[in-house]
Structure 1
């Protein structure tokens, strides 16, 4: 690290200023991506088939019937559905800037209250699956990477197989075998620890394949570096070198991958929560899309996107801490 800072100073580069500039660029990119997500979400929901005023009246009345223009006019005026699409977008964006996600006409409740109730089960499931994926990937990599060609090929093949497994297929298989057949776990998943095991495993298995593959490539490259021979010459055991030195270098790509993994897990939770009948944002989002509940859908999508973007930003900062060589780059 001191060598990097000294080199930057010789080149006339202030490391602190360079790091601040890098963080500023990342923050600007985050704001741009978030704006793009909000805009695309608005446009997609606006062009979905079905009249929002008709759906709203049918939900509130409990009758699915055709509505006359006279019935729809006051609803369109109240919610601004009769305004030009550009004006609707500006009104929508202004409300978001004020922290207002809107009101769910399906559930007749503020969107923020609905999300607050359902966020914890979904986020808990995603984080548990991520930790479980790491617990699977690291021991498997240490066991098979950087050893014989046959063992390395076996490890890589298993990781490729795991990464390609569909989450819904894994969930149904685990449900049939361990919940219905062996009755070790509840059929209907809940928010308890026991009810979280199968959904977490369902999400973790494919992710473990991706993380293991990312660690393996860097692990095998690091095994060829001079510091391995130097550590061995100092009397350190091969297991100690692999665990204390090589693994640290190999974790950097996987740390970066974890930022993407959170977004993937949050989206994958939609299927998993449906398979295990588990409470969370997934089931709420599916129902909101089918009923064209604009405020609720956009609120959930914006929340998940924001979490995904913020987590990736944090991962980038962790990346700078783990690898000081990147601190002088912009």
Structure 2
């Protein structure tokens, strides 16, 4: 295959993979939401408490195609998605794209800040655990393991009890100010930091045993200089690759965190839409999250190629 066609083939494969992921997510979401007990027609008429008549329910089902076989409804959904139409929310009577556009920024800001904090903490723990001495390695390893095992709902409850109720330093719910972001960001970042730190520590210790480390020390580099300039770069590559997964992990965690801290975002929107069996809203939110995951995964591959030129060379040689 000509060299000039290789980038085109890579792009085509990426696009095909992205389309397949989005189709699979839409399909699984559509059939899963139909397993939830309840009637979507009730959501359209204001929820279970609307006391809508049977005649009104039948009319709504006919208007929205809910009286059609499930396969027909599925085909209609795919047809709308193919032209970029996410549909209209059953419960809000608003285009799904409009609702998501108003909520996605808050969730992405929360996820991005949590990812940045997780990286900072993970790098600090990895450098500490790679320092000489068993005590530092044992203590940092214990912190990493504990942090990675903490569930979001428990950590959020403890943070609110300590920093809001007991000390009064931070608000327990979102208040529109930067201070309202602190506890949600920490809640999301701490478990991820523990996981990333464990991954980076193993690769950092392995890098310190490589010949390039000995050569750097022989040239007069200090021990901390070797870890920062050489070993850390190699240890960060696996964590960079996992950052795409981390964004998906953080956004899924936002479902819990946004609910606990009463913070507007896709998480709370998804929970509410699922309770109401708002199929277009649930499908739209999950699809947008999947699209963000795909885009971030592609971006992390590019960043990894910059950090480690060997990856770029390997791709060019295919």
Asked if structure 1 preserves the Cα contact closer than 8 Å seen for 2:122 and 2:197, the reply is yes
Partners of 1:281 and 1:26 in 2: CA distance = 26
What does residue 310 of structure 2 align with?
A: 325
Q: Classify the secondary structure of the residue corresponding to 1:118.
A: helix
Alignment of 1:25-44 (within 5 A): 25-44=13-32
Counterpart check, 1:106 vs 2:91? yes
Query: What are the Cα deviations for residues 40-62 of structure 1, in whole angstroms up to 9, with x where unaligned?
Result: 11111223222222332243xx8
| Inter-CA distance 20–233: structure 2 relative to 1 (3 Å threshold) | farther
1 CA distance for matches of 2:231 and 2:176?
38
CA deviations over 1:169-208 (Å, ceiling 9, x no partner): 1111111111111111112223321110111001010010
| Conserved 8 A contact 2:216-2:226 | yes
Residue 171 of structure 2 is aligned to residue 186 of structure 1 = yes
Shift of 1:316: 1.8
Distance 2:175 2:104 in 1: 14
Moved more, 39-48 or 264-273: 39-48
**C-alpha distance 49-159 of structure 1, shift in aligned 2 (>3 A):** same
Match of 1:176 among 154, 161, 166: 161
> Is the partner of 1:104 in helix, strand or coil?
coil
Partner of 2:81: 96
- Evaluate the alpha carbon distance shift between residue 93 and residue 76 of structure 1 in structure 2; reply closer, same or farther with a 3 A threshold: same
Residue deviations 1:111-165 (CA, integer Å, cap 9, x gap): 1111111111111111011101111111221122152334223222211110000
What TM-score, normalized by structure 2, do the two folds share?
Answer: 0.93
Q: 1:190·1:279 contact (CA, 8 Å) conserved in 2?
A: no
Name the Cα RMSD after superposition: 2.0
Give 1:20 shift: 4.8
Deviations 1:54-104 (A, max 9, x none): 332243xx8443742x33222111101111222211111111121111111
What is the deviation of 1:281? Answer: 1.5
Q: How many residues align?
A: 315
Q: Please tell me whether residue 286 in structure 1 is matched to residue 297 in structure 2.
A: no
Aligned equivalent of 1:198: 183
Q: Which moved more, 1:215-224 or 1:70-79?
A: 70-79
Is contact 1:146–1:223 with CA below 8 Å preserved after alignment?
no
Find 1:84's aligned residue among 69, 88, 93: 69
1:130 is matched with which residue? 115
Question: Residues 144 and 152 of structure 1 are in contact (CA less than 8 Å); yes or no, is this contact kept in structure 2?
Answer: yes
**Is residue 46 of structure 2 the alignment partner of residue 65 of structure 1?**
no
User: Hey, what's the Cα distance between the residues in 1 that align with 2:162 and 2:243?
Assistant: 29
Q: Is the 8 A contact 1:259 1:308 kept in 2?
A: yes
| Alignment match, 1:155 | 140
Q: CA deviation at 1:13?
A: 8.7
Gaps of 5+ in 2: none
Q: How has the CA–CA distance of structure 1 residues 154 and 21 changed in structure 2, closer, same or farther, with 3 Å as cutoff?
A: farther
Whether the 8 Å CA contact 1:121–1:191 is kept in 2: the answer is no
The CA distance in 1 between the partners of 2:50 and 2:69, in whole Å, is 27
Partners of 2:89 and 2:264 in 1: how far apart? 18
